[in-house]
Structure 1
C-alpha cells in the first residue's frame, strides 16, 4: 500500500507543476499601430483576435524604439533595467545583460527548445550563449561577429515566415519568437497609414498565415498558445514620442487555455507583460525583478 499512497500524494504536486500550454509562439508586427492594422484588412490577425482574447490599447515602453521595446517584450523589464537604449546593431556592447525569456525557460528546463526568427539583425543583442537553439535572420547566427556587410540587414516578413515555418515543422520549438518587420519599413519610408504601409501589413498577415499553417501541420495547434503584439505604433514617418499613436500596441492571444471571444478589460497591459505571460504559460518562475505580470484575465481559470 505504500506505493499507491506515495503516488496519491505526488499527483497534486505534479498537476500543479504542469505547464498551461506546451508551446508558446510570440509574433511581433513591427510598427503595428492598431488603428492601421485594423484598417489594413488582415484576415488571419483579425480571426485570431476575434476567436481569442484581445485589446488594442496595450502599451509599449518609452521611448518606443524597436530594439529597446523588443528587449522589454522578451525580458520582462523596462528599459531602466535592461539597459538597451540604442536601436542599431552595436557589436561592442554585447548581449543584453538581464535574462531573456529564452534564458529563463532553459534554466527552468534545459530541454526547452527556443527560437528567434527576425527581420532585423540587431536582434543579435538578444542572443546569449546557451539560451537559443537558433537565431535566424534569413540564416542562422551564432556568437561569432556579424559581418560588417550585414549590420543593417533587413529581411521581409515573407522570408522570415518561410524560415520559421520550415523550422517549426522539423523541430517543434517550445518557445518561439517571430518578428515581422514590413509595417515599420514602409512606415518610415512612406508614412504610417499610407497605402503602401497597409499593403505591408497585409503581407505580414500572409506571413502569419504561413506560420499558422506550419503549426497546424506540425500537430501543434491544440497544444500551443499564441501571442500577437507589436513593439510600437507610429504616425507620419516616425514613432519615438510619448503619444498614443506611437505607444499603443495590439495584444492578442489565441489557442490553448485562452478565453474565446474575450475583449480584455485591463487598461494597463505593457509590452513586458508579454514576457511574463509566456513564462507563466510554460510554468517558468518569474524573477522578482520582473516588471511584467501575466495577463491572466485572458485565460480560462
Structure 2
C-alpha cells in the first residue's frame, strides 16, 4: 500500500510541471493584423486557453529589444539591448546582470541550470536575433535564409520527437510577416497574406504533433514583438504598441479572447519559469507571471 501511494505521489509531482513548451514567434504580428486577417488554426490552437489582444511591447517597439525582453524577463533598461545592431562586442548600455560570458541571463540558461536534462532549441530566420542569447544553453540552433521558415518547422518537429521524454523548450520564430509590413505596408494585402500563410503552417505543425502523440503534454505560446504603421515601426502609436499574446496548456485557464490581465513582453520568461517549476529567478528579471492565467 505504501509503495502504491509513493508511486502515485511521484507521478503527480512529475506531471505538475510542463513536459514541453513551444513558442510560436511571429515578428511584426500586430493586434490590428490579428483583427484584419483569417487565422483558423491559431484560433483553434488557443480555443481552450486564452488570447489577449492588448499585450504591450517594451519601448522601443523594435525587434531585438523586444524578443530579448521575451526571453530574458527584462526591459531594455535592464538587458541593455536598445537597437537591432546590438552585439556582444559593441553596445553602449551594459546589462545590469550577465553570465560568465557577458550575456544577460535568458530563460534557456535558467532552465539548463535548474534542469540539466532539459532540451532547448532556437529556430529563426532573421540573423541578428540570436546575438543576445548565449548559444551554450541551446541544444539545437537553426537559421533559415531568405525569410523561409518551413524547414525550421520540420526541424522543430523532429527535435520534439527525439526528445519526447525530456523537459523541452522550443523557440520557433519567423520574420516574414514583419518583412511584408516593411515591404508593402502594415495591413496591406501582402501583410495579411503573410499572416494567413503562417497560420496554415502552424496548422500542419499541430496536426503532426497530434499524429505523433506529442500534443497533449505540450504548452503553446503565441508571441509577437511589435506592430507597425505605414511601412515602419519603433514609435509609440497603438498600431505599434499592441500585439496578441496567446497561451494554452493543462494548467492554463480557458478564458478565450480576454482582457482580464495586463501583459508585457517582459513577462514571457516568468511565465515559462512557472510552467517548468523553476525557482531562484535572476534578480535582473523585472517581469511577472500574471496569476490570472493559471488554473
Interval containing the TM-score (normalised by the shorter chain): 0.7 to 0.9
Structure 1: how far apart are the matches of 2:3 and 2:211?
40
Equivalent position to 2:39, from 28, 38, 42 = 42
Partner residue of 1:280? 274
- Contact 2:160–2:168 (8 Å) recurs in 1: no
Alignment of 1:198-277 (within 5 A): 198-277=192-271
Q: Name 2:151's counterpart in structure 1.
A: 159
In structure 1, the partner of 2:137 is: 131
TM-score, with normalisation over the residues of structure 2? 0.86
The structure with the largest helix share of the pair is 1
CA drift of 1:38 comes to 2.9
- The equivalent of 2:284 in structure 1 is 289
Moved more, 281-290 or 243-252: 281-290
1:157 Cα deviation (Å)? 3.2
Structure 2 Cα separation of the partners of residues 40 and 109 of structure 1? 39
| Deviation for aligned residue 1:284 | 1.0
Distance 1:258 1:43 in 2: 20
Residues 31 and 242, structure 2, Cα contact 8 Å, conserved in 1 = yes
Determine helix, strand or coil for the equivalent of 1:70: helix
Which is worse superposed, 188-197 or 244-253?
Answer: 244-253
Matched-pair contact (CA < 8 Å) for 2:72–2:107: yes
Change in Cα spacing, 1:91 to 1:291, as seen in structure 2 (3 Å) is: closer
Distance change >3 Å, CA 70–CA 244, structure 1 → 2: same
Tell me, what secondary structure is at the counterpart of 1:54?
strand
Cα distance change of structure 1 residues 161 and 6 upon mapping to structure 2, 3 Å threshold: closer
With 201-210 and 93-102 compared, the bigger mean Cα shift is at 93-102
SS in 1 for 2:201: helix
Residue in structure 2 matching 1:71, options 68, 72, 78 = 68
Find the aligned partners of 2:10 and 2:213 in 1 and give their Cα distance: 28
Aligned CA RMSD, in angstroms, stands at: 2.7
The residue aligned with 2:95 is: none
Q: Is the partner of 1:247 in helix, strand or coil?
A: coil
The 3-state SS of whatever aligns with 2:239 is helix
State the partner residue of 1:150.
none
Mapped pair 1:169 → 2:161: yes
TM-score, normalised via structure 1 length: 0.84
Q: What is the CA distance between 1:43 and its match in structure 2?
A: 1.0
What count of residue pairs does the alignment treat as equivalent?
Answer: 283
Matches within 5 A, 1:134-149: 134-138=140-144
- Aligned-partner SS, 2:116: coil
Bigger mean CA offset, 7-16 vs 209-218: 7-16
Alignment partners' CA distance in 1, 2:213 and 2:201: 19
**Aligned-residue offset at 1:108:** 0.3
Compare 46-55 and 96-105 and name the one that shifted more: 46-55
Cα distance change, pair 48–261 in 1 and its aligned pair in 2 (3 A)? farther
Is contact 1:115-1:133 (8 Å) kept?
A: yes
Deviates more, 1:86-95 or 1:248-257: 86-95
Provide structure 2 residue ranges, at least 5 long, that are not aligned to the other structure. 92-100
